[in-house]
Structure formats: C-alpha cells, structure tokens
Structure 1
C-alpha cells in the first residue's frame, strides 16, 4: 500500500521511529485537502477542502505490518482513507493517508513543515520508539 504523509511522518526522523521497513519515497501533492495546525500541539490535521492542496511525501509499497504500526501511531483522531495524489507533476497515484477526524481541535492556521518542532514532537510522542 502507498502511504501519503503530510505532517510529522514526512520527516525521516519520525517515519523511521514508527516503521521497520525501508521504502522508496517521492514528493507528492494531494488536491482538495488542507492541512491545519492543531491548537496547542506540534502536529497537523488534514481535512477535505475544495480548491486547496497539500504538499507531502509518498511512501511506496508499505507492508501490512508497518501500515498497522502507522494506524496505531495515528490513533483514533485519524481515519485512514484512500485518495489520489500527484507525483512528478502529472502522474496520479492511489494512496492511503490519515484524515483528521476531530476538526474542532484544528486552528485556523495552516501547518508549516519548516516550523515543525521536531524535538518537542519526539519527546512527546516517540520516546518509547527511540532507536526503533
């Protein structure tokens, strides 16, 4: 299964703490979605929004064990859905991604990857996965 990531999992330092396999990846874009910062947290939520796009990373052929690990990592505030993403400016690929379900927790501010607080996130959400 291909997995489109748009938040903390776009960063290899986080991705490699959650999954065991090594996967090929490529930049990708999801149209019809927007990514917002969560109020008082470091990670984003992506929701359907016409006329908007989200830049992210597509991981190819993720195995079932690692998909289960991703499901557990994302938790019950996210639902894994199948969407179309675009790679290489024109190729459409079917991938799964995690849609945020608790919209009331989203701020009105877009989440910016360059402002991601990696150390804070790892300390809060990945402590039990160090080295894994």
Structure 2
C-alpha cells in the first residue's frame, strides 16, 4: 500500500472513487519545495520544483497497486510519479506525487483554481472523463493479461 499526495482533480473524492471504485482515507497536507500552476489550455494543474513555494493538497492513504496503476493511467505521461518524503502530523512519511515532466512554457503563470474546476469541469469529469479512463484502462489491462 502506498501514500499519494494529490493537488488537482484527485482532490475530489468522487473522481478518486470513480477511478478506483474505492474510498480512501485522505488528510490535508502541504508539499514544500514545489509550486502548482494551471496547465495552458487545460482544466488541470501541474507542479514543478520551486524551493521557495509550497502546495496545499491531500495525502491519500493506503492506495493499492491496481488503484495506483489506474490513477497513473489517468494522470498520463506528462507527469513522472516521484517518491518524496513529506512532513505530516509531526512525522515524515513516504508518499508519491505526480510531477510535471514537460516544458514549463506549457504552464500558465497563475495557480490552478479548484473552485473553478468544481463548477466548470467536475460534472464532465464524472460523466465522461472518469468512465472513459476506467474503460480504456480495463481494455489495456485485459490485453496485457493475455500476454
């Protein structure tokens, strides 16, 4: 089981549950040394290293391997999944986080707006993006299991 730090669309438990079919325990957390930006032409964010910044998000606890694979597929190949240590509740825990791996020119200068995402994009994600992602991942996973 793994811990995952989330800072964008996965902050919404209904997206996480839609992707994995599971409810996970989440806790508010802060990731130091990174900055969050809106991605140009998209409704989701990215984070990049920035020693003087921090990102508010949540730690998702107890993520099983299959759920992690589904979430990684959902996030896409423009992110690297990076293991990091986060200070959390006076302890240091191992967690994974999706870090932007493309050019910073692809990012806006401002932060991503969670309220705007909730109002403008969340319903579309729940009715279209999440179900399509799950179906695509199942097809790929099924083909891989055939050898």
After TM superposition, the score normalised by the length of structure 2 is: 0.79
Q: Is the 8 A contact 1:30 1:84 kept in 2?
A: no
Shift of the 114–85 alpha-carbon distance from structure 1 to 2, 3 Å rule, reads: farther
**Corresponding residue SS for 1:99:** strand
- Structure with the largest fraction of strand: 1
**Corresponding residue SS for 1:70:** helix
Structure number with the bigger relative contact order (C-alpha 8 A, sep ≥ 6) is 1
Shift of the 94–112 alpha-carbon distance from structure 1 to 2, 3 Å rule, reads: same
Partner in structure 2 of residue 94 of structure 1: 94
Aligned-residue Cα RMSD (Å) equals 1.8
Distance (whole Å) between structure 1 residues aligned to residue 91 and residue 113 of structure 2: 25
**Mapping of residues 1-132 of structure 1, within 5 Å:** 1-88=2-89, 90-102=90-102, 103-116=104-117, 117-122=121-126, 125-128=129-132, 129=134
**Corresponding residue SS for 1:119:** helix
Q: CA offsets per residue over residues 7-43 of structure 1, 9 Å max, x none?
A: 0001112111111333211011100000000111110
Count, aligned residues: 129
After TM superposition, the score normalised by the length of structure 1 is: 0.87
Q: CA offsets per residue over residues 55-85 of structure 1, 9 Å max, x none?
A: 0011111000001101111111011001122
Shift of the 16–97 alpha-carbon distance from structure 1 to 2, 3 Å rule, reads: same
Structure number with bigger Rg: 2
Shift of 1:127: 4.3
Q: Is the 8 A contact 2:35 2:50 kept in 1?
A: yes
What 5-or-longer segments of structure 1 have no aligned partner? none
Deviates more, 1:19-28 or 1:76-85: 19-28
Shift of 1:120: 4.3
